[in-house]
Amino acid sequence: MSALLLETRELDKHYGGLHVTRKVSLQLHAGDRLALIGPNGAGKTTLVNQISGTVAPSSGSVWLAGEDVTRRSQAQRVRAGLARTFQITTLAPHLPVQRQVELALFEREGLTHRAWRSIDGYPVLAAEAHSLLRDLGLGEHAGWPTERLAYGEQRLVEMALALALRPKVLLLDEPMAGVPQGDGARLLTALDALPDDLAVLIIEHDMDLVFRLARRIVVLAEGAVIADGTPDAIRNDPVVRGAYLGG
C-alpha cells in the first residue's frame, strides 16, 4: 500500500446559513491521480482552498503525511510538501521564465534571506530550473518574459513553479481553463509525465481530460460528496449522470 499523503476529515465550510462544503472526507496516496468534479457552485474550489490553507474550515481537519496541518499557514503547508496551481495565471509578466523558476527554487532552499548574494551565484539552481523547463518543453523560451508566451505555455510555467518546490501533493485548479485547443496537447503531455510518486488532485470541467488522467474521481454536489470511484464507475453512476454528466 502506497503512503497516505493527504487526508481531509469531514471538512465543513459555511458562511452564516450558506453551506459551501459539507463534511468532505477524502484521501490521496502517493501516485494517486484524483479528479474532483461537479457542477458550478458545488464547492470544489472552496474545498481546495481549505486544503491549501487560503480558507480556514468551519470544522474538520486537513492532514499531510500524517500531520495535522489544519491550523498551519499556506507557506507552512508548502514547506510540508503541498503545492498548488490556480484557475487564473498569477505569473510576473515581465520577468524571464527561468528567473521565476529560479526564485521558486531559491525559496525552497531557504535562501531568500541571503540578500547579500545574487541569485546568479547559484549555478546549480539555474541548471535545475532550466532542466525543469526543458522537461516541460519550454527550454527554448527560458529567457523570455512570460507575457510573450502563449496561454497554454504560461500554464506550463505555473506547473514548473509548483514542481520546483518538490511537492508530495500537487493541487491543479482547472489547468485547461482558457487554454486554446491547439495548446492542450502539450499540457496533457506534461500532466502524463508527472512523477509517478506524486499525489495529484485536479479540479477540471474538461471531461476528456478527467477520464484520461484520473484513476479515481470524487463528485461534489451542493458541497457534499455524492460519489467516489473509478472512472468507469463514475461514468455509469445514475446519480452522477443526473447531477452532472447528463444523459
* Residue 189: half-sphere exposure toward Cβ, Cα within 13 Å: 12
Specify the pLDDT at position 89.
72
Answer whether residue 247 shows pLDDT above 60.
no
Q: Answer with the residue of higher pLDDT: 179 or 62.
A: 62
| Number of Cβ atoms within 10 Å of the Cβ of 140 | 9
- Copy the grid coordinates of residue 244: 452532472
Q: pLDDT digits over 71-117, tens only?
A: 999 999 999 999 998 766 778 899 999 999 998 998 888 776 665 56
Q: How many structural domains does the chain have?
A: 1
Angstrom distances, CA of residue 8 to CA of 48, 50, 129: 10, 9, 32
Rounded to whole angstroms, the Cα distance separating 39 from 218 reads 12
Say what the pLDDT of residue 208 is. 86
Quote the pLDDT of residue 117: 61
The CB density around residue 70, as the number of other CB atoms within 10 Å, is 18
Question: Bigger pLDDT: 223 or 114?
Answer: 223
Give the pLDDT score at 246.
62
Task: Please provide the distance, in angstroms rounded to a whole number, between the alpha carbons at the two ends of the chain.
Answer: 36
Q: Which residue range is the domain that position 68 belongs to?
A: 4-245
- Prediction pTM value: 0.89
Arithmetic mean of pLDDT, 157-173: 93
41-45, 220-224, 243-247, range with the lowest pLDDT? 243-247
Q: What is the mean pLDDT of the chain?
A: 89
Which CATH number do you get for residue 41? 3.40.50.300
Q: What is the mean pLDDT of residues 35-54?
A: 93
